[in-house]
Amino acid sequence: MDKHWDKSALLKRVMGKEKLLRVLVESFNEEMPSRVVELRDEVLLCDAMTDNRESEHHQNIQLLAHTIKGVAGNLSGVLLQENANQLEQAAKQKTGNYQPLMENIESSYYILKGLFDEFLNLDNSNDNDDV
């Protein structure tokens, strides 16, 4: 099992529907970048505050991390799912100092995105070969 992308587990969950898999990956590429940026901004703002205990950034971070966790989970992006979960739990407890966890998320996100791009390119070239 690839800790970044467990493709076989995903294929099993989508009942072997390759087309569905491709649509999901494309959808991830469309939606996820803005979420990661949004989350990073919230983390920077929250960590920059001297007293952030009552800040609504915790709640926003928790919600965004939760969404990323869910989407990553759906696509079997195991490490991104795990890292997002860690940030979600930390934000739930309002621990602050989220930057290190955010870096883990971004790192795993970019690796996963690279794997997805590779898959889409491969998939496209297969389509072209078919033509």
**Binding other proteins by CB under 8 A: which of 38, 40, 45, 67?**
67
d(CA 63, CA 82): 15
DSSP type of residue 48: H
The answer to whether residues 93 and 18 touch, using CB atoms and an 8 Å cutoff, is no
Per CB under 8 A, contacts with other proteins among 17-46 are 17, 19-20, 23-24, 27-28, 30-32
**Binding other proteins by CB under 8 A: which of 43, 61, 75, 90?**
75
CA dist list (Å): 40 to 8, 35, 85: 30, 8, 15
**Binding site residues, other proteins, CB under 8 A:** 10, 12-15, 17, 19-20, 23-24, 27-28, 30-32, 63, 66-67, 69-71, 73-76, 81
